[in-house]
Structure 1
């Protein structure tokens, strides 16, 4: 009886706390979704890239609460619709001052060029190009516009490409932390930041190679769009930095002006009565392209670290992970859909769990066995585990600047008992079972027998990885071992190595999927997206174990927020920690 009254009190307290705020927010979203907004008859779309851009839209129905912005695939899709939309007359692009993820920049450039080919102008406006990260990729996107404008007080400081690495080896030595890791092999450099104080020769070699590839690719593309040569542009770029006036005189930009002036000019070109419309609002109202025709191409998405299990769909943020149950199920759903003739698997991942990666790859194999070709479209990254899940596709399309490969594995632990002891904190352990039971205890390094067993598991995972790549890419295992060893390649470098089949983006992947499915190039197809995004009501029904209609009604009444699970959802913060047990197929992720 006492427990009953405590439960009632808890429910009542939860009801009081959550009956007002959360239902009002959800009702506002519901009302907004039910309304039918209208767009002006004559539009200029403003694409603001300054807040960053993901590869794919979040499938989390509550992502909007976390401020989820635009994705590359949304921009590509939105520009494709806009070029066919008689109401859209032009686009204004707001460029970030710092670098962009190079592969994302490649895809945006291609989409802008296709939009311009429809006869509609694009003005890009910059408030400066800062000397940070892959700023040349940002400049490349600006160069693809009809005109590139720059603010009068801004500096043109794009003179190359830089990347920084933080090494903790000396700090760990000083404070008694031991990074006890194994790596396969010398180019699997994610471990080095914990064990070294500087780049190893292999680390420096690999990074310099892919950075040079990214830089050369951005220069070549920008030079093409600026109607000059790569050599000439490189000479001018590297002689910088420049003021806005100097950038103009060196023909790096087309005009100096404030963004308000650029807006006025693009509206003038669009025609009388033209209004600026935010790109996000436009794509939200248009929705995803569904296409037409009796045959369908499935688009299966996956972005983030690869982990085992299933996403619970909860939380009000927009964190991204590739959950193996969800992604494999999405592929199986596409297999079972009789209208789907081929699958485009969009992968943007630095890797993760080998077990999760294998589960997803098994679904790819099942699709091929069912007679449905699978084409992988690589986004920003498709490295390590991201390459594992791609390796046996029928065809792989990558951007020149996609970071891929990293065919290797690493794993280990941090031994922190000595470090804690310096602060008067004593860590002890108790173990029951075999000698490997405490192998990953942070109290002591691996014993000789534990290290031997762990090293053997690392070798097995590496050999499995080699086998999958050799099978999928039709290469001799010995050849795969030569080009593997954990080394990261760009898409441009991977093409002649046979690790990818074609350079391009989502459009090229769809075209190849149609060809492999023997659908005539001129025939229209429908697009089906997997996994399907749940509505907030469906997500709530899964969280609380009730039907969607009941969840909606409960939210309207506010009663659902009395449930302790709902309170937990409200407290959940964005992001997920990748689950691994000792070994991961994960590539290091440079910050652009």
Structure 2
């Protein structure tokens, strides 16, 4: 009976999928493709950075329904094509008021500078720089433009860099929640927010160090682009805040005007009958950069927490994770592709499961053993598990502001029985088997034996992590222990410590991969991306979880068994069902 109702429910879901959702999606896709305008002869390309960015484009074809759809890698790729497009004459950048992720800002700045180097002007417009977060990174991107405009009523308040941390130690004490954690070691400070009421000495030290590194790097880049001394720019900025007029007088910006005025100026520079085209529309019309030639460089993407499993679609959203099965398979696919001579592994992750990380690292080792060099390109983060999967690459490229390192581990549990009892809820546990069977139970604290076992497991994972770094980076184990201890570093700091080889972004990583693969500079090269993006059918079946039995019944009822699309869907949903579900995350945060 249960199976009958499950099948009926699956059929009903399938009917909705085929009769309602799929036609709507296909109509929207068809309308979008048919109405895609050709790039005008004189075009202004408008890049709006105010909607938020991912590091990489989602593998879900419907991810655009959940947000702007812009990614850092996509921006770099599209600007590389636009700088060679004779129709694109000017770039107009809309800056966010509250800041950009520092490493993303580094990479976008570099792409803007390459666009300008092609002889095309860039106009950046800001409606103000607010005194929150990483606003200095937004200012750095704006400084890379030919002209930086600001609205007349806006304020220039980017006087530094700030952050806030939430500590729950006193609240947990008050309400009876007992956090039981082990950390390796004192700089692995994610645990502190559960156990402390303020920064510990090492926590404050590490935070201040990487924040200073990011701040100094942003100021140095802005000063270089605006052709002033870094010390002068720093003194001027820190003496603020300023009105727009004061910022203009101090040469922090170039012009004051509404965005409509900046758009009019951009069109004037673009030429007669110029039009403004949205960045996402232009990117869609161009597609991904593929290159040409006999030899190929594989680009393997990974963004989000590192988890075990094959990974599943999150509906129509753009949320992502680095699923170990899927990511390792992408690397193995690149190994088996004879045209691929090197692999660029783009990593943007704050960490995750050691088991999942090791599975991915094993694929990296396999690529090297097959004679295909691996170059890691680090995005916003490549910390903790993100550094684990990067550690044995042939070469590591990071932005100066990338958050990396965090070579350490933590884990534990929350004991909530006492907290629930205050509300009349009693939690009790029962276990059978060995003494460790209920070690992770939220109803009781660790016994001394359980804590000893858990502590030993943390020691083992930490030592394995240290060993991976030592072997991959050719650094003595004792030295790795000195610079590890769970401490976070910026890319600039990591380079001086030998944890990173080169500062730069995806462009520099591709260049190094070409060099390691011994592909001559005058020889064209193709780019092949792994894993391949999901088709609409695959994304729909994953999003709605349609089972193969239900799809079979639906197809039979509809009399469309001969439709190749229906047959393909049956095969795909069956494959998905057989792969299994579920993922485990030990620690998805690096700080």
1:18–1:464 distance in 2 versus 1, CA, 3 Å: closer
Supply the distance in 1 between the matched residues of 2:488 and 2:241 (Cα, whole angstroms). Answer: 30
Supply the distance in 1 between the matched residues of 2:260 and 2:566 (Cα, whole angstroms). Answer: 48
Supply the distance in 2 between the matched residues of 1:577 and 1:91 (Cα, whole angstroms). Answer: 44
- Offset of 1:3 from its aligned partner? 7.7
2:533 maps to what in 1? 533
RMSD between aligned residues: 2.6
Aligned residues of 1:305 and 1:578 also touching (Cα < 8 A): no
Aligned residues of 2:299 and 2:529 also touching (Cα < 8 A): yes
The answer as to 2:212 corresponding to 1:212 is yes
Unaligned segments of structure 1, at least 5 residues: 570-575
1:5–1:539 distance in 2 versus 1, CA, 3 Å: closer
Supply the distance in 2 between the matched residues of 1:4 and 1:307 (Cα, whole angstroms). Answer: 31
1:587 maps to what in 2? 590
| Paired residues, number | 572
- Offset of 1:316 from its aligned partner? 1.4
The answer as to 2:412 corresponding to 1:409 is no
2:193 maps to what in 1? 193
1:573 maps to what in 2? none
1:181–1:280 distance in 2 versus 1, CA, 3 Å: same
1:493–1:578 distance in 2 versus 1, CA, 3 Å: farther
The answer as to 2:516 corresponding to 1:516 is yes
1:29–1:183 distance in 2 versus 1, CA, 3 Å: same
2:383 maps to what in 1? 383
- Offset of 1:151 from its aligned partner? 0.2
Supply the distance in 2 between the matched residues of 1:482 and 1:337 (Cα, whole angstroms). Answer: 40
1:572 maps to what in 2? none
- Offset of 1:26 from its aligned partner? 1.6
Supply the distance in 2 between the matched residues of 1:8 and 1:353 (Cα, whole angstroms). Answer: 35
Supply the distance in 1 between the matched residues of 2:54 and 2:384 (Cα, whole angstroms). Answer: 20
1:51 maps to what in 2? 51
Correspondences of 1:72-471 after superposition (within 5 Å): 72-313=72-313, 315-471=315-471
Aligned residues of 2:172 and 2:178 also touching (Cα < 8 A): yes
Supply the distance in 2 between the matched residues of 1:15 and 1:21 (Cα, whole angstroms). Answer: 10
Supply the distance in 1 between the matched residues of 2:8 and 2:328 (Cα, whole angstroms). Answer: 43
1:540-565: CA deviation from partner (whole Å, max 9, x where unpaired): 46754479xx89979x99999xx9x9
Aligned residues of 2:309 and 2:583 also touching (Cα < 8 A): no
Unaligned segments of structure 2, at least 5 residues: none
Aligned residues of 2:93 and 2:125 also touching (Cα < 8 A): yes
Supply the distance in 1 between the matched residues of 2:452 and 2:336 (Cα, whole angstroms). Answer: 44
Supply the distance in 2 between the matched residues of 1:409 and 1:275 (Cα, whole angstroms). Answer: 53
The answer as to 2:28 corresponding to 1:29 is yes
1:332–1:33 distance in 2 versus 1, CA, 3 Å: farther
Aligned residues of 2:397 and 2:509 also touching (Cα < 8 A): yes
Aligned residues of 1:50 and 1:95 also touching (Cα < 8 A): yes
Supply the distance in 2 between the matched residues of 1:32 and 1:302 (Cα, whole angstroms). Answer: 31
Supply the distance in 2 between the matched residues of 1:334 and 1:557 (Cα, whole angstroms). Answer: 28
1:351-372: CA deviation from partner (whole Å, max 9, x where unpaired): 1000000000000000000000
1:350–1:9 distance in 2 versus 1, CA, 3 Å: closer
- Offset of 1:539 from its aligned partner? 3.4
1:527–1:13 distance in 2 versus 1, CA, 3 Å: closer
Supply the distance in 2 between the matched residues of 1:202 and 1:260 (Cα, whole angstroms). Answer: 49
Please report the TM-score for the alignment, with normalisation by the length of structure 1: 0.92
Supply the distance in 2 between the matched residues of 1:24 and 1:54 (Cα, whole angstroms). Answer: 29
Aligned residues of 2:305 and 2:588 also touching (Cα < 8 A): no
Matched residue SS, 2:499:
coil
Supply the distance in 1 between the matched residues of 2:499 and 2:566 (Cα, whole angstroms). Answer: 54
- Offset of 1:14 from its aligned partner? 4.9
Aligned residues of 1:301 and 1:346 also touching (Cα < 8 A): yes
- Offset of 1:411 from its aligned partner? 0.3
Supply the distance in 1 between the matched residues of 2:470 and 2:7 (Cα, whole angstroms). Answer: 61
1:86–1:319 distance in 2 versus 1, CA, 3 Å: same
1:373–1:12 distance in 2 versus 1, CA, 3 Å: closer
Query: Is 501-510 or 535-544 further displaced after alignment?
Result: 535-544
Supply the distance in 2 between the matched residues of 1:7 and 1:508 (Cα, whole angstroms). Answer: 52
- Offset of 1:394 from its aligned partner? 0.2
Supply the distance in 1 between the matched residues of 2:324 and 2:8 (Cα, whole angstroms). Answer: 40
Aligned residues of 1:62 and 1:314 also touching (Cα < 8 A): no
1:23-51: CA deviation from partner (whole Å, max 9, x where unpaired): 33222234136537232222111000001
